[in-house]
Structure 1
């Protein structure tokens, strides 16, 4: 049998990724199935995964357990990274893509300047806004609690 904690975290990831599709539709009026495998946006699948795992462990082992302590620190690091480093990397990608576009315009207007446009733009949606992380946290708590309460007693 599979490890219940791992399965809970995987359900957290899958549910968050799936929810990105209808939430994106509500915002844009377009169905974009690529959101199922993309990063960024609402809700944060990273936050949902680690929060569902931490919630499940808290209910199963107790908040004074070493498992809960380790999972909590792991969760904080992942969510900080999603909002901080990964968000900043996305902002840098936006700036690089904009500069590449501007260089192409400059090169077209000045025959002596050579510029080869990038074949593929850098991915800009890498991290999360705080509200997207909060959405992942709320979803993760619900999934972790559900996993615990629907677990069959041994």
Structure 2
């Protein structure tokens, strides 16, 4: 019986995990914002924006920033857990605005080259590469700000509920 109560206790604690919830909410908010900004920009609904990479704001940046900030609020900003989360956030944001952004730009060029090939060329009917892979620095900054705000608001809500 103790195992059952311990199991239900640990499974219910995941729903009270402030850092995890902050990160997930931040991800969902960023993806939702992308969906609506794509509609505003193109005047058409694009469901791929709900799950796809790239776009404004960066959901990667929002997620890892919310996680790091939530850990900082919960466990302190001087601990090794926060340091680990902060380094992870920096690596993810650097990667999304560096390597992945440039890989997407290379995909654009390659797609254009393949498009211009004569029909009889063996690569002429190659499926296009995904071009929207990374983020511009403003998209990364917007995602980080969204993550910070999400974790901060979630912290205030968590504190209010806990009292």
Q: Tell me if structure 1 keeps the 8 A contact 2:114–2:126.
A: no
Of structures 1 and 2, the one with the larger relative CO (CA 8 A, separation 6+) is 1
Matching residue within 122, 145, 149 for 1:138: 145
List alignment gaps of at least 5 residues for structure 1. Answer: none
More deviation in 40-49 or 18-27? 18-27
Aligned ranges for residues 11-90 of structure 1 at < 5 Å? 11-90=25-104
More deviation in 22-31 or 123-132? 22-31
- Give 1:120 deviation, angstroms: 2.0
- Give 1:135 deviation, angstroms: 0.9
TM-score by length of 2: 0.84
2:142 paired with 1:153: no
User: Deviations for 1:78-120, whole angstroms, at most 9, x for unmatched residues?
Assistant: 00000001001101111110110111xxx25xxxx63342342
TM-score by length of 1: 0.89
Q: CA RMSD in A?
A: 1.5
